Chain A
Amino acid sequence: MSDFEPRIVAFVCNWCTYAGADLTGTSRIKYASNVRIVRFPCTGRIDYMLLLKAFDEGADGIIVSGCHPNDCHYTSGNFHARRRWIMFRELCDLMGIDINRIQFSWVSAAEGSKWADVVNTTVTKIRELGPYTEYKKVANWPVKEVING
């Protein structure tokens, strides 16, 4: 387990968190390199299916991040997103999807160090949880011979 390097996908909005992550880099703050960032115009565009697709493709953890409430570039995208995350999280929990592997956060363009912290703590948490084998097993169904459902 010790040499397990989590694969984490971060879905972030262009205007706040992406800029914030950029600032983390330009401020030369060192942080875990396990995260692949995917940039979206707005958290309102981050469809729940994208999160599931990340797990399908082998992610062990996910970060979803955007502008703080009232700071959305499009006024209310993050408010809509928040409502959807609240419900989606409940659904995932009911179905036994590990919601501890999805970290939601608000990170502004000025919060370079918060971004580093969100990533680091998420990586640590996922490292403790280990690889998301349950989901990978289901996603890799073609490996198994399918005869009968």
Chain B
Amino acid sequence: MTIDKRILRKDSLEKLFNILRENNRTIFAPVEHNGKISFKASGSFSSVATDYIQTTQSSKEAAFPRTEKILDYTKTRDNINASPFDHNQIPEVVIWGVRPCDAMGIAELSAIFNWDLKDEIYNQRLAKTTVIGFSCMKADESCFCTSVGGNPGNTEGSDILLTRMGEGGDLIAEIITDKGAAIVSFAGELFQKSEEGQKEKYLADVPVKFNRDEIRKKLDKYFESDIWVKQSLRCIGCGACAYVCPTCACFDIQDEIHGKSGSRVRCWDSCGFSQFTIHTSGHNPREVQSQRWRQRIMHKFSYMPERLDVYGCTGCGRCSRACPVDMNILEHLTSIQEVTL
């Protein structure tokens, strides 16, 4: 569908929030706790954080929660009864205040979850998720969306994209998809038809830092390069970068057992962990951190474009901000672009 442009008056934002709640939507919105902002099911408009560049965690949890049940089971003497995950339990979710880089990440995450096998639970959750994006008026030195195919006012992945016309001003609303139109259908009077506003002039300025296609081409030849060793020496091998990333999709399957019954759950995992690739034999093909770091970059900038036709990084900069030891991905990518073999 073509994008339908409307105007949302500044005091209509709260009304929209409440209308969504009245229409049984679970709203995941940025909420502050301990100085960090993360998406949480939020009951009131006043609890929603407004002054931030980027949330600490991405909004991927709406479709890919850190921990989710796949099935329950009970064992009897001669039988095992398994009851699969009940899709009806999935609520209708609206993710509120998603940045364009996160919204774009949904396409990348979906590519992974629909590569060969179509992941049922993921797709079910996504089908019930509506994304209300907020364009960026501010950016920091970790942001690099413009280097990876995005921009601070990118509509890709959002169902509705809102752009504030200046600090505290009215909002330009772009209704992008049918899901977005569905929201307009029950909050119609808030979305006024108007020609006013040019969103470009309100957007943050994010300079282009590198060319991702060039990096991809280089990576083909860089598997054995010592750049990985150099870059990763200070990496301490935690999961912070993967867990905050909107496109990281690795997971583990665990059985949580209580006596004769239990649940099988899917939970996040990270390629940064030393035991991520350990084999049953004890052999570990990624024995040292440099190989794990290489995997992180290769996966996002070489393997994903090759196999899935999308890149695995939206330039949100979260991994750089979350890393306890300042493994700045932008700095590392730029240095890959600069080195010659």
Contacts and interface: CB of A to CB of B under 8 A. Distances in A.
A142 B259 contact: no
Contacts, number: 36
Q: Is chain B's interface secondary structure helix, strand, loop, or mixed overall?
A: strand
Contact of B65 (A56, A57, A148): A148
Interface in B49-107: 61-62, 65-69, 72, 89, 91, 93
Contacts of B258: 56-57, 139
Contacts of B65: 146-149
A148 B69 contact: no
Q: How large is the interface on B (under 10, 10 to 19, 20 to 34, 35 or more residues)?
A: 20 to 34
B156 to A, nearest CB: 24
A149 B72 contact: no
Given A142-B69, A142-B72, A142-B256, A147 B41 contact: yes
A119 to B, nearest CB: 24
Interface string A111-149: 000000000000000000000000000010010011111
Given A142-B72, A142-B256, A142-B263, A148 B39 contact: yes
B41 A148 contact: yes
A148 B263 contact: no
B41 A146 contact: no
Interface in B17-48: 26, 28, 39-41
Interface residues of A, number: 9
B165 interface: no
Contacts of B256: 142
B265 interface: yes
Contacts of A145: 69, 89
Contacts of B69: 142, 145-146
A139 B262 CA distance: 12
A139 to B, nearest CB: 8
The list of the 4 closest CB pairs from A to B, nearest first, reads: A142-B263, A148-B61, A146-B67, A145-B89
Interface of B: 26, 28, 39-41, 61-62, 65-69, 72, 89, 91, 93, 256, 258-259, 262-263, 265
Interface of A: 56-57, 139, 142, 145-149
Given A148-B40, A148-B61, 16 more contacts: A56-B258, A57-B259, A139-B258, A142-B256, A146-B68, A146-B69, A147-B26, A147-B41, A147-B62, A147-B68, A148-B28, A148-B41, A148-B62, A148-B66, A149-B61, A149-B67
